[in-house]
Structure 1
Amino acid sequence: MTKYTIKDIARKSGGFAMLAVDQREAMRLMFAAAGIKTPIKDQVLTDFKVNAAKVLSPYASAILVDKQFCYDEIIKQKVINKNCSLIVAADEFIPGNGIPVDKVRIDKKIDAQQVKKDGAKALKLLILWRQDEDPQERLQMVSDFNKICHDAGLVSIIEPVVRPPRVGDKFDREKSIIDAAKELGDCGADLYKVEMPLFGKGESADLLRAAQKLNEQINMPWVILSSGVDANLFARSVRIAMNAGASGFLAGRAVWASVIGLPDTDLMLKDISAPRLQHLGTIVDEMMASR
């Protein structure tokens, strides 16, 4: 059995320049916010994701897709560049309390062996981390997920994202990101996808210190995501995170969010998003070469 490793989703430099298009209801909200007439049909999301995969995958070491809206079409149309690896989201989002993602569980509809046959090399699991919820439940879910991945010879990517507690209103995002890393940073996964400290804002020295604290807690390669970070600050965030020990990024919004709702989507992806992704990939290679 072929067993994939993180090298199979990396660039030749060993760094990661990975694109995410697995956003689901969050992407629908983005289209609505861009002024697209509601209700936003599923096909609008599917078309955007497939177009983004087609236009941008030549510049990514891997692309993360979701089963709900785009996986089938992306496989059917064979739009992913041959040099770009496929990652499949294996998380099922459960809405509640007025938000699209209130809980997450492993998506049992994802057949690890089948997606591997289709060309996937990794699975990704979102973990919502709340300080007042049972850490053992999270650790068990991650353990189950790792087993699914490794039994199939796939790379295991976890994505802890912090949320305010269920009870009370005290929420220290920065402390929570560190606490989540303490809990999950040595859980047996292959790659840790993490939120950028301080939303990528502020002085470089402060960001570097925060990222170094994070690095101390994660006992596996790690990459940053771009949600919550201003697209204009994301390239700097990648440099700083990699200075602290990160190995690149797995990001979507910083690459393509600005073209949502614009006319001529294919053209906008080519003119705006592709150069942005190329630039980020160059940064990753430069930072890896300097090590």
Structure 2
Amino acid sequence: MKLSRGKYQRIQACADERGVIAAAAMDQRGSLRKAIAKAKGAEVSDAELTEFKTAVVKILTPYASAILMDTEYGLPALQHKAPRTGVLLAYEKSGYDTSVPGRLPDLLPELSVRRIQELGGDAVKILLYYNPEDDAKINAIKHAFVERVGAECAALEMPFFLEPIAYDDRLGEGLEMAKAKPRYVAKYMEEFSKDRYGVDVLKVEFPFNIAYTSGTLGFKGEAAYTRAQALQFLKDTASAAGKPFIYLSAGVSDAVFRESLEMAAEAGVPYSGVLCGRATWQDGIPVYAQKGLAALEDWLSDQGVKNIQMLNAVLAKGAKPWWTVYGSPEAALA
């Protein structure tokens, strides 16, 4: 499926001059509040969340092609972004309903794609917990949910970035889930590349858990697979994708995230960039919690900028333009 001119131009607004999406993520809500509160040893106010987000936006967006933000606490921060930095806005509620099975998604009730556009968004982002081998009734709900968002985005020519997160509540987060992850990521990349969903860019996990990948910097000692196998998983999942895809950092350190991206380049994977959040700025959380805003700004101006510059250097070597899957920019247009 080709892109409308509006979608094409808005995706370009989120990419750099090469067509690579070098985006920063700052849409964390509940998880960010918990992390700051833990480091601070006290409750964190809404104003403090906005203050943290504002510092990240002000100092890091000159080095990012786009910024992903929430509308609940982050809109004031966007006033401080670099002029040419694109804006992705999160449409989903943070977290999920734990009282029912399936980690079902929900939208922020005060938002619509039209309102996201009016707020200055260049693209819509949805996070979706997804287990391709879950109960068919649960996945039917999720498929219909994504179809509705896709249709809403198509009507307003807004790019739709979908972030599926693999999970299996029966397996937990350990070794067994690590073993299942390559299969789950390949299946969701194939599923949500189907035109019926209207997804324009997939924001995906690496198809391995690097903590369980022997021969890597991030390896923690218990192996689910080797580095060579992880390279093959990268190739397999990339071949399953029919849409441009970018990688998320999933909370690993900046060094481990860069290593994973270098592996993708080694595997010859045509990934089109990143949406990188915590890997860049998470070490600033204790600085802010214990020393305040000025100390956070100093840390971001030094180590935060270095982190994003090192990440951009990796992207310059390995990432491909988002329109690569279409063959050329002209071929992407309907």
Note whether the superposition's TM-score is higher than 0.5.
yes
Q: What displacement does 1:16 show?
A: 1.3
Q: CA 1:116/1:207 → structure 2, altered by over 3 Å: closer, same or farther?
A: same
Name the structure 2 match of 1:212.
235
- Provide the C-alpha distance between the structure 1 equivalents of 2:134 and 2:7, rounded to a whole number of angstroms: 35
Given that 1:238 and 1:248 are in contact with CA atoms closer than 8 Å, whether structure 2 keeps it comes out as no
State percent identity of aligned pairs.
23
Name the structure 1 match of 2:185.
177
Q: Which residue among 207, 224, 227 is the counterpart of 1:197? A: 207
Matches within 5 A, 1:112-261: 112-130=113-131, 131-133=133-135, 134-165=138-169, 171=177, 172-186=180-194, 187-200=197-210, 201-203=213-215, 204-242=227-265, 243-261=268-286
Tell me how many residue pairs correspond in the alignment: 284
Q: What displacement does 1:257 show?
A: 0.5
Which blocks of at least 5 consecutive residues in structure 2 are unaligned?
216-226, 325-334
- Provide the C-alpha distance between the structure 1 equivalents of 2:320 and 2:157, rounded to a whole number of angstroms: 29
Secondary structure in structure 1 of the residue aligned to 2:7: coil
Q: Which deviates more, 212-221 or 222-231? A: 222-231
Name the structure 2 match of 1:25.
30
Q: CA 1:25/1:41 → structure 2, altered by over 3 Å: closer, same or farther?
A: same
Q: What displacement does 1:102 show?
A: 4.3
Given that 1:157 and 1:190 are in contact with CA atoms closer than 8 Å, whether structure 2 keeps it comes out as yes
Q: Which deviates more, 128-137 or 281-290? A: 281-290
Query: What's the CA shift string for 1:161-180, capped at 9, x where partnerless?
Result: 01223x57674233222222
Q: Which amino acid aligns with 1:222?
A: F
Given that 2:56 and 2:300 are in contact with CA atoms closer than 8 Å, whether structure 1 keeps it comes out as yes
- Provide the C-alpha distance between the structure 2 equivalents of 1:88 and 1:288, rounded to a whole number of angstroms: 23
- Provide the C-alpha distance between the structure 2 equivalents of 1:102 and 1:273, rounded to a whole number of angstroms: 33
Q: What displacement does 1:3 show?
A: 1.1
- Provide the C-alpha distance between the structure 1 equivalents of 2:95 and 2:261, rounded to a whole number of angstroms: 30
Given that 1:208 and 1:244 are in contact with CA atoms closer than 8 Å, whether structure 2 keeps it comes out as no
Q: Which amino acid aligns with 2:302?
A: D
- Provide the C-alpha distance between the structure 2 equivalents of 1:224 and 1:90, rounded to a whole number of angstroms: 19
TM-score scaled to structure 2, two decimals?
0.78
Query: What's the CA shift string for 1:126-148, capped at 9, x where partnerless?
Result: 11113324322222111111122
- Provide the C-alpha distance between the structure 2 equivalents of 1:109 and 1:241, rounded to a whole number of angstroms: 38
Name the structure 2 match of 1:15.
20
Given that 1:13 and 1:285 are in contact with CA atoms closer than 8 Å, whether structure 2 keeps it comes out as no
Q: CA 1:252/1:279 → structure 2, altered by over 3 Å: closer, same or farther?
A: same
Q: CA 1:286/1:128 → structure 2, altered by over 3 Å: closer, same or farther?
A: same
Q: Which deviates more, 87-96 or 116-125? A: 87-96
Which blocks of at least 5 consecutive residues in structure 1 are unaligned?
none
Q: What displacement does 1:94 show?
A: 4.8
Q: Which amino acid aligns with 1:126?
A: L
- Provide the C-alpha distance between the structure 1 equivalents of 2:258 and 2:81, rounded to a whole number of angstroms: 24
1:50 aligns with 2:54: yes
